[in-house]
């Protein structure tokens, strides 16, 4: 009986969590800056693969 009552309460909590997530996802985070791209074009090179695979001596890539 106690477990059934707990399940009833959990369903309502899940609905509240779902509503909270929807509200959070639609609002921008005020602590994070809004950027439309990299702040520095040089920064991109750290996340791109090598331009010339012959020049790459890295075994991880």
Tell me the per-residue pLDDT of 20-50, one tens digit each, with 9 for 90 and over.
888 887 887 777 776 666 566 666 666 666 5
- Which residues span the domain enclosing 2? 1-29
Q: Is the pLDDT of residue 8 over 70?
A: yes
C-alpha atoms less than 13 angstroms from C-alpha of 61 in its C-beta half-sphere:
13
From 42, 44, 47, 41, select the one nearest 61 (Cα to Cα): 47
Mark residue 36 as left, alpha or beta (left: phi above 0; alpha: psi -120 to 50; beta: remaining). alpha
pTM > 0.75: yes or no? no
Q: Give me the number of domains the chain comprises.
A: 1
The token pair at 8 is 């009833």
Question: If you average pLDDT over every residue of the chain, what do you get?
Answer: 71
Residue 4 falls within a domain, yes or no? yes
Q: Is the pLDDT of residue 58 over 80?
A: no
Residue 52 falls within a domain, yes or no? no
Check residue 16 and give its pLDDT: 77
From 59, 36, 32, 56, select the one nearest 45 (Cα to Cα): 56
């Amino acid at each position: 009986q106690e477990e059934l009552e707990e399940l009833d309460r959990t369903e309502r909590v899940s609905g509240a969590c779902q509503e909270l997530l929807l509200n959070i996802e639609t609002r921008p985070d005020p602590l994070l800056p809004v950027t439309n791209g990299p702040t520095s074009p040089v920064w991109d090179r750290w996340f791109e693969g090598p331009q010339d695979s012959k020049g790459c001596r890295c075994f991880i890539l």
